[in-house]
Amino acid sequence: MSADVDSVAGPAGATTDVIAIRCPADGRLIGEVPNQTVEEVVAAAESLRAAQPKWEAIGPAGRAVWLAKWRDWILDNRNRLLELVQAEGGKSWGDASIEALAAVESLNYYLSTSPQYLRDEHPKASGVANVAKRLSVRHRPYPLVGLITPWNYPLAMPMLDCPAALMAGCAVLSKPSEVTPLAWQEAVRGWRAIGAPDVLGVVTGLGATGAAVVDAVDMVQFTGSTKTGRLIGARAAERLVPCSLELGGKDAMIVLADADLERAANGAVWGGFFNAGQSCTAVERVYVVAEVYDAFVERVTTKVAALREGMDSPGTYRTDIGSVATGAQLDIVERHVREAVEAGARVVTGGRRASDAGFVYEATLLVDVDNAMSCMREETFGPTLPVMRVADADEAVRLANDSNYGLSASVWTKDKEMGKRIANRLNVGAVNINSCMMNVFQFPVPQAGWSESGIGSRGGGAHGVLKYTRPQSVVSDVYEPRSEIFWYPHTSRLGKLQEFAVGLLGARDWRRRLGLKKH
Ligand code: NAD
């Protein structure tokens, strides 16, 4: 039995054997994937586990060779991959094509930096009593990492995490979104095509397949909604396996009076509408101080009205923003716009579906909004940009922080020091100054969602790869006498010696060292 994603039941009600993948921009059938069972997930996990020890044994340099070959395969096959990304996501070609760039950048970053971060560490022993100890810390991989991803960037999203986990020496069992599994499935086929060890697998299916992955792995890397993240966090806690949860956001953009208004307007339009607004770090709400509000809205209005909606042909760059990925997501967008208008907001441009076929929605600019509206509180994840007038920076900061989410934010001002001071007051994991969304691609700094935007982080230099490892301490001795003074049997002579040693080595004053002060 086959079913479309929009018509099948949710995670608990997986009722279909095969999932039909349709292009959301025009409804065309572009592929099918199996809705894999728990047994199939368990079998895939077993096979990956069997291959992992050899993968760990070849070391970071050996693993980097395979990642470099995979990078080359992706570069050579990128048009085919991007055509799948575009078709399953209903994207404009321009929006789709950034995914190859992100994939290659991430691969290159982790294959070149990880070997140094994964080196054994040899800390000095602490204290005189331990002077003969030799210490090292090894970074041993979690044998099997589960990589569960959403639909908004079918290739780039798994690629932000997969290279780091592979470089750490883990095997990876990936589960792409049931909405957009095709490009990632093809990328994993590429891993096999280069003859790489069998340490990267993919299973497809609905939420139940994802839940089976959580049950089969040693560490979970999840990107997706806060709702699913909670379920995964709870299950991982029951199993006592760690998880890193990169969840939803409601990013605020704060425009101060001295901002470069042209750059800010261009940034708002790109940050709000890139990928039809379906980025976790999309600009979801804009707070503009009163002095420049009218001028800012005027510029943004012209730019939003000029956006070309729809899915163009591969390689043509004829449209700017494509389709919303699912009917359910379109329902959220329509509800947010409707509820905003009912509560007194005004649609300046856009505000409806672009056509009856597919899920393309017009780029929509909303003004006269307030922080109580659903478009300002809930994640919209669609092509809308609500802009609100605020009295000053203090009000902007207060409203930006009035949110359950804490992913990222942006501050627009010519005074960078002021921008940094405002960043210090924002309760989010990342702040961009005079830019937006770009923190995600700065692999040396962490992308960490605060509050309901997640637990843990991706990237962040050494942390980006070490999060997939467990520290293993190895302790040895330079001298190995037949026995140590605190080993059995206890004797009065050795006991007194130990008592004296506690004072002699632990005290920092001579009276206690020499036992002249009574205890
Ligand atoms: P989703 O949570 O519905 O699904 C994500 C993945 O989880 C899918 O593969 C799905 O099949 C799987 N899944 C569903 N139920 C599961 C369960 N019980 N156990 C295990 N896996 C399960 O999210 P979505 O709608 O695909 O993606 C959109 C969301 O992703 C947005 O909220 C967006 O903000 C978020 N996102 C966050 C980041 C980030 O880095 N913070 C990046 C991209 C997207």
pLDDT (tens, 9 = 90+) of the chain, 519 residues, equals: 556 655 433 344 445 799 999 999 999 999 999 999 999 999 999 999 999 999 999 999 999 999 999 999 999 999 999 999 999 999 999 999 999 999 999 999 999 999 999 999 999 999 888 999 999 999 999 999 999 999 999 999 999 999 999 999 999 999 999 999 999 999 999 999 999 999 999 999 999 999 999 999 999 999 999 999 999 999 999 999 999 999 999 999 999 999 999 999 999 999 999 999 999 999 999 999 999 999 999 999 999 999 999 999 999 999 999 999 999 999 999 999 999 999 999 999 999 999 888 999 999 999 999 999 999 999 999 999 999 999 999 999 999 999 999 999 999 999 999 999 999 999 999 999 999 999 999 999 999 999 999 999 999 999 999 999 999 999 999 999 999 888 999 999 999 998 898 999 899 999 999 888 777
Please give the full DSSP string across 469-497, using - where no structure is assigned. Answer: EEEEEEEEES---SS-TTSSSP-HHHHHH
The total number of residues shown for the chain amounts to 519
- Residue whose structure tokens are 């996990």: 45
The 8-class DSSP code of residue 490 comes to P
- CB count within 10 Å of CB 130 equals 14
Cα 253 to Cα 423: distance, rounded to the nearest angstrom: 11
Atom 12, ligand 1: residue with shortest CA distance: 207
Q: Is 246 a catalytic residue?
A: yes
385: amino acid identity, one letter? L
Cα 219 to Cα 236: distance, rounded to the nearest angstrom: 8
Atom in ligand 1 nearest the alpha carbon of residue 249: 34
Cα 299 to Cα 292: distance, rounded to the nearest angstrom: 11
The 8-class DSSP code of residue 446 comes to E
Nearest to 204 by CA among 225, 189, 219, 226: 189
Torsion region of 456: left, alpha or beta (phi above 0 gives left; psi -120 to 50 gives alpha): left
Atom in ligand 1 nearest the alpha carbon of residue 232: 19
Nearest to 303 by CA among 187, 207, 387: 387
Q: Thinking of the domain 37-247+461-470, which architecture would CATH place it in? A: 3-Layer(aba) Sandwich (3.40)
Residue of 148, 275, 324, 437 best suited for mutating to test ligand 1, as the one with most atoms within 8 Å of CB: 148
Ligand 1 centre to CA of 446 (Å) is 20
270-287 burial string, b = 16+ CB within 10 Å, else e?
A: bbbbbbbbbbbbbbbbbb
Q: Thinking of the domain 251-442, which architecture would CATH place it in? A: 3-Layer(aba) Sandwich (3.40)
> How deeply is 22 buried, as exposed, middle or buried, from its count of CB atoms within 10 A (0-12, 13-18, 19+)?
buried
Identical fold, 37-247+461-470 and 251-442: no
Pairing of strands 469-477, 171-175: unpaired
Atom 30, ligand 1: residue with shortest CA distance: 224
Ligand 1 centre to CA of 224 (Å) is 2
Tens of pLDDT along 62-121? 999 999 999 999 999 999 999 999 999 999 999 999 999 999 999 999 999 999 999 999
Ligand 1 centre to CA of 374 (Å) is 20
pTM score, two decimals?
Answer: 0.95
Atom in ligand 1 nearest the alpha carbon of residue 227: 2
Cα 395 to Cα 400: distance, rounded to the nearest angstrom: 8
Ligand 1 centre to CA of 382 (Å) is 15
Using DSSP's 3-state secondary structure scheme, residue 375 falls into: helix
Residue of 152, 153, 230, 442 best suited for mutating to test ligand 1, as the one with most atoms within 8 Å of CB: 152
Residues with CB under 6 A from ligand 1: 11, 148-152, 157, 175, 177-178, 206-207, 210-211, 214, 223-225, 228, 231-232, 246-249, 280, 379, 381, 407, 449, 454
Using DSSP's 3-state secondary structure scheme, residue 334 falls into: helix
Tens of pLDDT along 128-145? 889 999 999 999 999 999
Ligand 1 centre to CA of 316 (Å) is 30
Domain ranges of the chain: 37-247+461-470, 251-442, 484-519
Name every residue whose Cβ is closer than 8 Å to that of residue 240 and which is 6 or more positions away in sequence: none
- Please state the separation of Cα 53 from the chain's center in Å: 27
- CB count within 10 Å of CB 131 equals 11
Is residue 156 within 8 A of residue 102, CB to CB? The reply is: yes
Using DSSP's 3-state secondary structure scheme, residue 201 falls into: strand
Using DSSP's 3-state secondary structure scheme, residue 69 falls into: helix
The 8-class DSSP code of residue 7 comes to G
Nearest to 422 by CA among 440, 434, 404, 437: 434
For 384, phi then psi, to 5°, come to -130, 150
Name every residue whose Cβ is closer than 8 Å to that of residue 503 and which is 6 or more positions away in sequence: 512, 513, 514, 515
Is residue 457 within 8 A of residue 160, CB to CB? The reply is: no
Is residue 20 within 8 A of residue 1, CB to CB? The reply is: no
